[in-house]
Amino acid sequence: MLKPFHLRQSTAHKRLVELASSAGALHLRELFAEDPSRLQRMSASLGGMFVDWSKHRVTEEVMEALFALAEEAGWKEGVQGLYAGEHVNQTEDRAVLHMALRGAAADGFTVDGVDVMDEVLATRHAMGSYADAVRSSDRITDVVNIGIGGSDLGPLMVTKALRSLSHKGPRVHFVSNVDGAHLESVLDGLNPESTLFIVVSKTFTTQETMANADAAKSWVESASLPVSDHFAAVSTNIPAAVRFGVKAEHVFGFRDWVGGRYSLWGPVGLSIACSVGSSTFAELLSGARAMDRHFAEAPARENLPLISALLGVWYREYMGFSTHVVLPYAQDLDRFPAYLQQADMESNGKYVGRDGQPVEHPTGPVVWGEAGTNGQHAFYQLLHQGTDIHPADIIAVEAPLSAYTDHHTKLLANAIAQAEALMCGRNESEVREEMRASGRSQSEIDAIAPHRVFRGNRPSTFILLDALNAKNVGQLIALYEHRIFVQGLLWNVCSYDQWGVELGKVLAKNILAEWAEEGDAPTHDASTQHLIDRLKR
């Protein structure tokens, strides 16, 4: 169990408040001008990943104070406890060991004193063999993953990210929403004879997933096909999956010490393995494991997840920036922001602390984003000139992702340019000079120049992958997973439960039950009741 940490009562907090009061005056342009070694000091490579955090509004003093804050919070002991299988998920009394799913036998991860690696490796082997058999079968052309939240977003994001490695695999589709239009639009054009459904649900009770799975089952049955030939399942609730009609040998289990949003590394990643094959899936795991080792072993000043987390805390707590925008300059990573929304916001969007008391400070930011360059033509206006500042992560890939290599140079130029524009901006004298040079009249210059000024000083991290391969993708995801852990530790929340999603589920169930009842006996507030009555009629 992680001990409570009261950030605002820490010694480092006082120092950080002092530093924050003068940080507003710092401009990144000046920080770079004053320190020729800034980039060297504030960037690092790990495997195929280069991370540049020099464009952040922090000085050496700020970083020192942030590291001191992490020390006071006991980040090292926290990581040790996490890896040792302590019940870090305290409200559900469970270990948090998604690292074991990508681990090796020698890692010896244990839960409640039992080494879990034999079981993990046996499941990995079984799901890998199954995925490879699906890939080499002439019978299956299309795989449909039915799941939602962590049983959808991770596998979907990675399957898209590794599109270029999916040759010879089946087409893989994802159905999550309980809006029947989702299932219908995916089934349209598919042939039941050559379709395999993978029902993915940790609990095997989730309303959306079960509704979609039941409808898919009817679709198969109405083509007079045996359900057991067209369904596989992934769950911690193996009996429920078997009762549904899946052959026991095609149900892949996992344990409750894997949270849904951290689960893509095990059998929840079956659709990924069907798309790219078991050996590429293994590469994904090895990338994540490399980040796990780095996080556990690297000293604070070189520790990428720790540094990334501390920068996020600096902005959220000390600079008052309330969102974190993620901008992948890779179309194949376009679901990365959506994936991260769940990973981060379901983990750290909490106002109750580990001691059961409301926390006295902001916690998880709003995470949002969109693939570049599309975002540039949508919301970047606000990023550059909006009244709020949104720290950004720009993720780019060195190797082209398509045969259109000229496109790639343009894409990369845009990624770099945006980071530069966010940081440097353009001051009024530069704007006026440029307008004069292009022959604009003095009155035009006076009227328009203020609108063309960019204050800049808007922070970003630049993450450059040498290729969008499985290893790098694994490493990238694990970087964010560990960032979330550190931030949850500092914000004193229980990052691995999700009680906040319960109420809506219960109320939806109640409303559904009332739907079937005669009459309109009011049981809700006037607004809710009106909507129910109106739609019932």
**Of 27-35, 145-153, 405-413, 445-453: span binding ligand F6P (CB under 6 A):** 145-153
Which window, 200-208, 367-375, 420-428, 441-449, contacts ligand F6P (CB under 6 A)? 200-208
How is residue 359 annotated by DSSP? P
Of the residues 223, 382, 501, 531, which one makes contact with ligand F6P according to CB under 6 A: 501
Given 145, 159, 206, 280, the residue binding ligand F6P (CB under 6 A): 206
260 is a contact residue toward ligand F6P (CB under 6 A)? yes
Give the sign of the dihedral formed by CA 315, CA 45, CA 336, CA 121. negative
Q: How far is the CB of 270 from ligand F6P (least distance, A)?
A: 13
Among 54, 89, 123, 151, binds ligand F6P (CB under 6 A): 151
What single DSSP character describes residue 389? -
Separation CA 79–CA 484 (nearest Å): 12
Which region, judged by CB under 6 A, interacts with ligand F6P, from 18-26, 143-151, 359-367, 389-397? 143-151
201 part of the interface to ligand F6P, by CB under 6 A: yes
Rounded to whole angstroms, how far apart are CA atoms 535 and 368? 32
350 scored as a contact of ligand F6P (CB under 6 A) = no
- Whether 154 contacts 339, CB under 8 Å: yes
Q: Which of 149/425 has CB closer to ligand F6P?
A: 149
Nearer to ligand F6P, 18 or 214 (CB): 214
Compare residues 176 and 472 and give the one whose CB is closer to ligand F6P: 176
Figure out which of the listed residues 261, 294, 354, 390 binds ligand F6P, where binding follows CB under 6 A.
261
CB-CB contact of 197 with 229 (8 Å)? no
Q: Which two tokens stand for residue 228?
A: 């057991």
Beta strand ranges found along 147-296 (DSSP E): 171-175, 195-200, 231-235, 251-253
How is residue 3 annotated by DSSP? P
Which listed residue (145, 209, 457, 475) binds ligand F6P by CB under 6 A? Answer: 209
Nearest CB to ligand F6P, comparing residues 211 and 532? 211
Minimum Å gap between C-beta 296 and ligand F6P is: 25
How far is residue 75's CA from residue 426's CA, in Å, rounded to a whole number? 39
Interface stretch with ligand F6P, choices 203-211, 399-407, 433-441, 488-496 (CB under 6 A):
203-211
Scanning 129-137, 197-205, 353-361, 435-443 for contacts with ligand F6P by CB under 6 A, the matching segment is: 197-205
CA dist., res. 159 & res. 177, Å (int): 18
Asked if 376 and 418 touch (Cβ cutoff 8 Å), the reply is: yes
The answer to the question of residue 498 lying near ligand F6P (CB under 6 A) is yes
Helices (H) and strands (E) in the chain, counts: 24, 13
What residue type is 397 in one-letter code?
V
Q: Which CB, 132 or 256, lies closer to ligand F6P?
A: 256
Q: Is the CB of residue 481 less than 8 Å from the CB of residue 83? A: no
Task: Give the burial string for 339-348 (b: 16+ CB within 10 Å, else e).
Answer: bbbbbbbbbb
Binding flag, residue 149, ligand F6P (CB under 6 A) = yes
Residues annotated as catalytic are: 346, 377, 505
Unique residue bearing structure tokens 């990052």: 495
Q: Does 148 bind ligand F6P (CB under 6 A)?
A: yes
CB of 496 to ligand F6P, least distance (A): 10
CA distance 201 to 150: 9
Identity of residue 65: A
Q: Which residues here bind ligand F6P, judged by CB under 6 A?
A: 148-151, 201-203, 206, 209, 260-261, 346, 498, 501
